[in-house]
Amino acid sequence: MKKINKTDKQIFKTYYDSPIGQLLLTSDGKALTGLWIEGQKYFASTIKEEPIQKDELEIFVKTKDWLDRYFAGQKPLPQELPLAPEGSDFRKAVWKILCNIHYGEVMTYGRIAKIIAEQKGLSSMSAQAVGNAVGHNPISIIIPCHRVIGTNGSLTGYAGGIEKKKKLLQLEGAKITLP
């Protein structure tokens, strides 16, 4: 039998069948730590331990309700759920900005870079660095990385795939022209 260290974290998982495919949800028992679309780039990349399936965990019940409302065309907010994505301070700063992009709206990587630069007191920030942080978002859909677009309105760089990004933006009635 494996001896559990006090530093070992237990991670729990459940699944959700969505209109864009099966989603894997993970939690530390209190907050949501991950939500990935099956087959997406960086799938479950922040999970270091083997998660234990626990469908009835309160955060999973709340998250599934959130997702039900989202896919029904309602407008739940990321702030309704306790979120604990793992990442650097820079990535967390980018993800915090993503949480403030309203349902049905979009923001460019360049705009997010300007906001980060202002927050840090810098003259500029790399939109490419922002893109990397957006792409490594471990809580897809709820932290709405699908709402980030290229400067020219292009739907670039969604880890879940461009078709899924299009579907999510169409569901939200985003005010951009989708190719």
Domain of 118, CATH number, reads: 1.10.10.10
Residue type, 53: Q
Q: Which residues of the chain have pLDDT under 70?
A: 1-8, 42-43, 177-179
Same domain for 109 and 155, yes or no, is yes
Whole-structure pTM over 0.75, yes or no?
A: yes
Nearest-5° Cα angle at 122, 117 to 124: 60
Same domain for 100 and 163, yes or no, is yes
Task: Provide the 10 A C-beta neighbour count for residue 153.
Answer: 13
Closest CA to 142 of 10, 47, 36, 52: 36
Q: Are 87 and 93 in contact (CB under 8 A)?
A: no
Same domain for 76 and 124, yes or no, is no
99 an active-site residue?
no
Q: Which of 35, 106, 134, 145 is catalytic?
A: 145
Same domain for 156 and 96, yes or no, is yes
Same domain for 93 and 72, yes or no, is no
Question: What does the pLDDT look like over 127-149, one tens digit per residue?
Answer: 999 999 999 999 999 999 999 99
Same domain for 45 and 111, yes or no, is no
Same domain for 142 and 76, yes or no, is no
Total domain count, the chain: 2
Return d(Cα 169, Cα 147) in angstroms, integer: 7
Same domain for 71 and 95, yes or no, is no
Domain span including residue 27 = 12-80
Q: 3 lies in a domain?
A: no
* pLDDT of 113: 96
Return d(Cα 86, Cα 46) in angstroms, integer: 7
* pLDDT of 2: 39
| Residue 106, token pair as written in the block | 């979009």
Task: Provide the 10 A C-beta neighbour count for residue 52.
Answer: 11
| Residue 45, token pair as written in the block | 């990349």
